[in-house]
Amino acid sequence: MKQIKLLLMLLLFLTTVIEAKDYNNRREVKNFINMMVKKHHFKRAELKKLFSNVKFQRGALGMFNPKYRKKPKHPPKHYSKHGSWDRYEKILLKESKVIKGVEYLRKHRSIFKEVYRRYGVPPEYITAIIGIESHYGYNRGKFPAFDTLTTLAFEPNRRKKYFKFELKELLLLSKKEGFNPKNVKSSFAGAIGLGQFMPSSYDAFAVDFNRDGRRSIQTTSDAIASIANYFKKNGWRRGEVVATRVSYKGNRFNRRKTGYRHKYYRSSLFGITPKYGTWRYGGKVRLIKLDRHNYDELWYGAKNFYVITRYNHSSYYAMAVHQLAQRIRKMYQKKYGDNLR
């Protein structure tokens, strides 16, 4: 009797955590289905079947609507005013991530070299993206993509319009590439594959590099080439620099606006100079400020740095990609003596 009671409690817990919903009776969903049928020629019965049993993704919704966010058992420690880059760096630039990146590069060396010849994007930068986005393929997401995007598209949150667009793109992609949208895993925001492409980016930038007739960014060769294609189409310049650290007077920098949105001629940046010798770059630069606990670290960001921010609109993200790429390249060359080109 005790075991049965425990089993019933467990089942109640599971049904509470994973709540199945039928979205077909919602006016907003009916309008969405009508649009997909009329404009994109989907079968109404197939769409109604998809929306009839959606696992409500409370965890994903909590990222965009505080009402659904669980209160942590142990509130985070109080952070000081400064040191945001110290904390960011500690998470994304661990030595173990560099070591795994080196081995990932070695394992797929021939693919990386072929992709570099075709797209001009250095292997270490693609490796860094895959390392940060999916830990080299070990963590591609645990959320069901269709259920997650449906939850985010039709439940109250600040970005539901965007998620409705991405839900449409996922369905179009599933039709074009011939897969069941219910069988795809994603991040809490619906990003898919080794490089964590949103469905719209998947359709715009994914390539069939291994020529098997399908664009699959769950496949290593297609994922590597798709990230390179993303960079190239967003303006990556073959052989150009990405960023370099600079010196300035003082410990905190507030003289100019910083971040990837603001560009300057180097000649106008008096008192700011490359920290390590000559930096061969003639274009406008961005000033990228990294908040350390005791000082601001300042960098020049070139056009290729800006391209990385098109993947994720964050200067910190782009800097993490750049620094992880440089550390991977340095360790790889020391270990294998290969220039990766």
Could you tell me the two tokens for 79?
Answer: 């952070």
Q: What is the pLDDT of residue 71?
A: 73
Distance CA 271, CA 256 (A): 12
> Mean pLDDT throughout 320-325?
98
Three-class secondary structure assignment of the chain? CHHHHHHHHHHHHHHHHCEEECCCCCHHHHHHHHHHHHHHCCCHHHHHHHHHCEEECHHHHHCCCHHHCCCCCCCCCCCCCCCHHHHHHHHHCCHHHHHHHHHHHHHCHHHHHHHHHHHCCCHHHHHHHHHHHHCCCCCCCCEEHHHHHHHHHHCCCCCHHHHHHHHHHHHHHHHHHCCCHHHCEECCCCCECCCCECHHHHHHHCCCCCCCCCCCCCCHHHHHHHHHHHHHHCCCCCCCCCEEEEECCCCCCCCCCCCCCCEECHHHCCCCEECCCCCCCCCCEEEEEEECCCCEEEEEECHHHHHHHHHCCCHHHHHHHHHHHHHHHHHHHHHHCCCCC
Give per-residue pLDDT as tens, 126-146: 999 999 999 999 998 899 999
pLDDT tier, 69 (very low <50, low <70, confident <90, very high otherwise): confident
CATH number of 80-139+223-341: 1.10.530.10
Q: Beta strand pairing status for 243-247 and 263-264?
A: unpaired
Q: Lowest-confidence range among 10-14, 174-178, 189-193?
A: 10-14
- Name the region of 57 (left: φ>0; alpha: ψ -120 to 50; beta: rest): beta
Give per-residue pLDDT as tens, 197-254: 999 999 899 999 999 988 988 899 999 999 999 999 999 999 999 999 999 999 999 9
Q: Give the active site residues.
A: 133
Residue 74 pLDDT > 90: no
Q: What is the pLDDT of residue 76?
A: 62
Domain range summary for the chain, segments of one domain joined by +? 80-139+223-341
pLDDT tier, 16 (very low <50, low <70, confident <90, very high otherwise): very low
